[in-house]
Structure 1
Amino acid sequence: MLEAGLFPNAILYNNLISCLCKAGMLAEAESYLKRMPQHCAPNVVSYNIIIDGYCKARNIEKALAFLREMEELGHPPTPHAYSSIVQSFCKTGNVSKAMDVFAEMPAKGCEPDIVNFNVLLSGLWRARKIHEARELFRSMNSRGCKPDVVTYNTMIAGLCKWKKLDEAVFLLERMKQEDVSPTFVTYTTLIDHLCKFTRLQQAYEVFEKMAEGPCACTEPAYSVLFNKLQRAGKLVEASRVYSDMCRKNVCMTDNTYSLVVLGLSKMDGGNVEAAKLVTEMMGKKIAPDFYAYSILINGLCKARRPGEAKEMFQEMRGRGISPTVVTYNTLLEGLLSTAKLQDAMELTYFMLDQGRLPDTCSYNLMIRGFCANGDTNEAYCLFQDMIKDGIVLNTWTYNFMIVGFIKDEAWSSAWMLFKRMQSGKNDKVPAPNMFTYEILISSLCKTDQVEEAFKLLSAMRDKGFVPSLKIWEVLLSRLARAGRLDDAFELYKEMSRINCQQLVGSSNILLDGILRRGSVDEAKDFLKQMTDTGIVPDKFTYDKLVVGLCWQGKADQARKLVEELVRDGKRPENQGLRQLLGALCAQGDFQGAYEFYCWLPSVGVEVTLGMHNTLVTSCCLARKLDYLDMIEQREGVPDVIVERIEKFRAELFREEEVKIYEETRDRKIRRTMAYSEPRRPKIASFRAMDLHYGQ
């Protein structure tokens, strides 16, 4: 250009400097800036470009130097230049410097514009300067800068992140008052965080407001809400959103179909709807992807419908989608959970035919399935196949096999595997885990080998294992049931010494043991001790106490205890209430039993079918027809109970008829026999005749 006598102008220089900055060639860009001739000296645009370039390269000192040079040359700094520097300070975490630069703008004759405010606001939220962000937002109107949709979105996102959800919802309302239209991002940010913090009703209300505006009935909005609800486990609400989608004929993308299939597969009875959705996808020529099929197969297996899962699996293959080992394992687990062992074996052979080698998980599923169905020999054959084929046997492989041997009472085989795990001689043999010890200690306790169980507990602790609560409770239960309460209390104290949290379940085991010994007063003392140590009794605790009182023939005390509990907002389990009804009847207090039966619904306690049966059975055995009549006439009595009472009454009526018939028959027989016997003369008459003829 220069050789041709053409001289570049400022626009050309600025474009060249901009290109060099974008390419990261800042030294060359600075060189051209300084070489700009007198007739096209660097202007505001030139400095804005070079400042922005150095800011993006994180060389803020150089950018500030050019800002000062710009001022010295008489060029007023622009909001764009300040915006670049403020943003750069914010990105490097130096928000204090960013605030200082922002604060100097009015003094330099440059009022901040909306971009400056938004950049600093975003930086303040990132730096967790919540108070400063709020103050900056409040000052915008007074400084002549009206917040725009970006400002509101930044504020709402920041407030949501720091759990200020009520304030975020308030800002959404304020946007409408200020005639600022919320965007899809505004709504979805709010919906996302409201769902995350389980404020689902508010999330749905925000969604409905969204539907009223320009974002109405958009597929992404439905997708976001449905996904968040199903991930939060709020399946009823998710189902409502899905129904709304269907009603409004919202067109779903491939990804949304997959999400909806996943959500429906989690719902009770939702697998049928999910299968329909897959059919709908195919009808619309949207091919379900691997993800959608896998979700559906998994859902059907969890719903214990492996037959349909198998059909879906075959359809998946028919469409040219290759199942992975995980898909095979999912179907395998579904088949084994419903005892379809033959189908599971066929699937395994099919895997091999397709070149998919079963992994450790596949074998573990098969071994567990065979052991659960009592075919330990087949399970052990698979176990041996794993060793032969070089497939890694993990701790769970051994654990499942040990469970199978114990179930078959093959103790020697179970202990052989355990000792192999303990030996540590072979790196390929895994060490026992907590579950291994739980299995063995539980089985020893079930077979009354408590001393052996304690030896194993000691060996386990020597290996560095801290016994789980389940192990302690198994040992406690066995000692309590064997009447060894002193040993049980010692074990209970040891749990406390090693900081094992004594949950209410452990205390209930001891309470049950005390009551089995017939010591009701001791049980009450122990209950007080529980509460003093901060263990809150549950409904099972009170249930055991009520049952214990009934066993001791103290039904009246049990009834008073239940009434006190209900007044305090507590109540025992249904078993205790049934036991109490039976105990009152057993001691002949049918009036008390009937009054207690009527009292339960009045205090909000549901009378179960078992309670009805207990009272009706007792009344039938004692032939208390008047109480049966009163029970039958009460509202809400199940039909099956009414039928039982009527059946008993009919049987009783037949018994009475038979009794009357037999008594009548016996009387007739006696009368007939009396008439058929020959009449004998009186002894006195014969004597008279003898005397007469003798004379």
Structure 2
Amino acid sequence: MADYLCRRKLFDDLRCLLKTVLSVKGSVNARTLSICIRFLGRDGRVDEALSLFQEMESLFNCSPDNLVFNNMLYVLCKKAASDDQSLNLGSIDSAFSIFKRMECPDTYSYSNLLIGFCQFGKIDRALDVFNEMVKVGMTPTRSAINNLIGGLCDENSERLRCEKLRINDHRRPFSIMVPNIAKRSYIEPAIEVFKKVCELGLFPSAFVLNMLVFELCRVRELDEALDIVRIAETRDKAHVLDMYTIVIRALCKVRRVDEARESFDRVILLGLQPKLALYSSLICALCKIGSLVEAERVFDAMRKNKCDPDSVTYTVMIHGYCRVEKWEAAYGLLLEMFGMGWSPHFHTYSWVDDIVRKNGRDDLALKLERKLEIQVLQSHCKAGRLEAAHKKLGSMIERGVYPPIYTRDLFERAFQKAGKYHVAREILEKIQR
């Protein structure tokens, strides 16, 4: 009956039920009270659940068993942290005092307490609970492990975050960003916890592993990150692609391109489909070290696997070709960018233009110039910058550069939408004449 009322959130009726049982000198067992405590906690009635737990022996003449203790710990430790820090500390302190009353805590008791310490930012005490569990031969729940490793990663990121330092010993004071290198790092304990739980036969969730790998890459512990990815590869191959992406991008940033390329080949060997960010990072790193042949191989594989390059990838490849003065390949990729509606950076366009002119192909340089002007005109029309579009088309007509039919239609529709159709027709008639 208590379970029925709790599932329908009829807590007032539940209270009447318990009072009725007491009034007729009936008995309420620990199982009934544990159900009430758990559902009260789920509904956010933590104070009522705690009051019911404290009245078990005095009012109901019933001693709590492990199920009651665990439900009470669940309520106190898993509730969302409130804005009032004093309430948070009171909740976790109450949970710890209840835990101390248990004669034989089990796995769920320890796990609930561990989650509670993580939820309320007491990472050191959570580590102590975990080490005690390992010492007595208990295995924590997967949820507890996810909370602990995730909490360690968050705490490490928070403690190593840069802070502003004000310098006043100059005529004009200024601020600089200084990393908190004196604060304790929590990344080593996170690695130790991961290795211990793997020995115990547990494995964290993919989301938590991504956090751990990202944090290791952020502090430049790339070898440890690779080891974790290889372990994850044997356990959860479906979610290992995101971890490989994080590690490969970090390897490319520090110019460890050979290892990045080996990891990329491993991704292909596993039958995984790399994403755009992974391809772009590797191509950029290969171009920077001058391995243009390898960059071309990755770029071709990217398009073969139906992963469309973006403007950044095209720009990186164009810069790579320009460095070795392969002007034909750079010119071809720049034309592809124009064909996709992308406007290259001015530095990229100028570099290709200089190389093309240097090789005596002024006709191709003129073609690029016209393509660029048409692209700029289209971007003005799409963005609704009518004045800029009108000025741009007028300057093109004066120099004898006439846009294609689809660009004229776009220009005409943009002005027609703004109620200035006569302005567009006036300048388009000049092209016809």
Superposition TM-score, scaled by structure 1 size: 0.38
Q: Give yes or no for contact 2:139–2:200 (8 Å, CA) kept in 1.
A: no
Q: How does 1:338-353 map to 2 (within 5 A)?
A: 338-341=289-292, 344-345=295-296, 348=299
- Distance between the aligned counterparts of 1:335 and 1:137, measured in 2? 54
Unaligned runs of 5+ in 1: 1-49, 246-250, 260-287, 431-695
Look up the match of 1:386: 337
Shift of 1:344: 4.3
Q: Give yes or no for contact 2:111–2:140 (8 Å, CA) kept in 1.
A: no
Of 188, 207, 212, the residue aligned with 1:228 is 212
Is 1:167 aligned to residue 125 of structure 2?
Answer: yes
- Distance between the aligned counterparts of 1:181 and 1:86, measured in 2? 29
Shift of 1:374: 5.5
Q: Give yes or no for contact 1:336–1:366 (8 Å, CA) kept in 2.
A: yes
Give the SS at the match of 1:393.
coil
Look up the match of 2:321: 370
For 1:121, the aligned partner's letter is L
Give the SS at the match of 1:76.
coil
Residue deviations 1:404-432, cap 9 Å, x none? 3798799x999x969976996232799xx
Q: Provide closer, same or farther for how the CA distance between residues 330 and 216 of structure 1 changes in structure 2, counting only shifts above 3 A.
A: closer
For 1:333, the aligned partner's letter is C
Is 1:130 aligned to residue 130 of structure 2?
Answer: no
Unaligned runs of 5+ in 2: 82-87, 157-183, 358-365, 386-433
Kindly tell me the number of residue pairs found equivalent between the two proteins.
336
Higher relative contact order (CA 8 A, sep 6+): 2
- Distance between the aligned counterparts of 1:349 and 1:427, measured in 2? 32
Q: Give yes or no for contact 2:226–2:247 (8 Å, CA) kept in 1.
A: no
Is 1:99 aligned to residue 50 of structure 2?
Answer: yes
Q: Give yes or no for contact 2:288–2:320 (8 Å, CA) kept in 1.
A: yes
Q: Give yes or no for contact 2:73–2:99 (8 Å, CA) kept in 1.
A: no
Q: How does 1:131-210 map to 2 (within 5 A)?
A: 131-138=90-97, 147-171=105-129, 181-185=137-141, 190=148, 193-194=151-152, 196-198=154-156, 199=184, 204=189, 207=192
For 1:393, the aligned partner's letter is W
Q: Provide closer, same or farther for how the CA distance between residues 127 and 420 of structure 1 changes in structure 2, counting only shifts above 3 A.
A: closer
Residue deviations 1:439-483, cap 9 Å, x none? xxxxxxxxxxxxxxxxxxxxxxxxxxxxxxxxxxxxxxxxxxxxx
- Distance between the aligned counterparts of 2:131 and 2:267, measured in 1? 48
Q: Give yes or no for contact 2:284–2:316 (8 Å, CA) kept in 1.
A: yes
For 1:162, the aligned partner's letter is F
Of 209, 233, 237, the residue aligned with 1:254 is 233
Is 1:119 aligned to residue 71 of structure 2?
Answer: yes
- Distance between the aligned counterparts of 2:262 and 2:226, measured in 1? 29
Residue deviations 1:17-50, cap 9 Å, x none? xxxxxxxxxxxxxxxxxxxxxxxxxxxxxxxxx3
Shift of 1:91: 1.2
For 1:135, the aligned partner's letter is S
Of 399, 404, 411, the residue aligned with 2:351 is 404
Residue deviations 1:129-153, cap 9 Å, x none? 32243135325656x7554443333
Identity rate, percent: 21
Q: Provide closer, same or farther for how the CA distance between residues 230 and 68 of structure 1 changes in structure 2, counting only shifts above 3 A.
A: same
Look up the match of 2:181: none
Look up the match of 2:160: none
Is 1:51 aligned to residue 2 of structure 2?
Answer: yes
For 1:228, the aligned partner's letter is L
Shift of 1:370: 3.4
Q: Provide closer, same or farther for how the CA distance between residues 312 and 254 of structure 1 changes in structure 2, counting only shifts above 3 A.
A: closer
- Distance between the aligned counterparts of 1:229 and 1:332, measured in 2? 22
- Distance between the aligned counterparts of 2:215 and 2:26, measured in 1? 56
Q: How does 1:680-691 map to 2 (within 5 A)?
A: none
Look up the match of 2:380: 425
Give the SS at the match of 2:345.
helix
Q: Give yes or no for contact 1:226–1:241 (8 Å, CA) kept in 2.
A: no
Q: Give yes or no for contact 2:108–2:140 (8 Å, CA) kept in 1.
A: no
Q: Provide closer, same or farther for how the CA distance between residues 406 and 306 of structure 1 changes in structure 2, counting only shifts above 3 A.
A: same
- Distance between the aligned counterparts of 1:352 and 1:61, measured in 2? 64
Of 288, 313, 330, the residue aligned with 1:337 is 288
Superposition TM-score, scaled by structure 2 size: 0.55
Q: Give yes or no for contact 2:99–2:109 (8 Å, CA) kept in 1.
A: no
- Distance between the aligned counterparts of 1:207 and 1:385, measured in 2? 50
Residue deviations 1:343-378, cap 9 Å, x none? 545655565566555444432332343355556775
Q: Provide closer, same or farther for how the CA distance between residues 139 and 289 of structure 1 changes in structure 2, counting only shifts above 3 A.
A: closer
- Distance between the aligned counterparts of 1:123 and 1:207, measured in 2? 29
Q: Which has the larger radius of gyration?
A: 1
For 2:115, the aligned partner's letter is A
Give the SS at the match of 1:77.
coil
Give the SS at the match of 1:54.
helix
Look up the match of 1:87: 38
Q: Provide closer, same or farther for how the CA distance between residues 404 and 230 of structure 1 changes in structure 2, counting only shifts above 3 A.
A: same
For 2:139, the aligned partner's letter is T
For 1:426, the aligned partner's letter is C
Q: Give yes or no for contact 1:89–1:97 (8 Å, CA) kept in 2.
A: yes
- Cα RMSD, aligned residues only: 5.4
Shift of 1:217: 3.8
Residue deviations 1:105-137, cap 9 Å, x none? 221223333322332233223154322431353
Q: Provide closer, same or farther for how the CA distance between residues 74 and 164 of structure 1 changes in structure 2, counting only shifts above 3 A.
A: same
Give the SS at the match of 1:110.
coil
Q: Give yes or no for contact 1:393–1:428 (8 Å, CA) kept in 2.
A: no
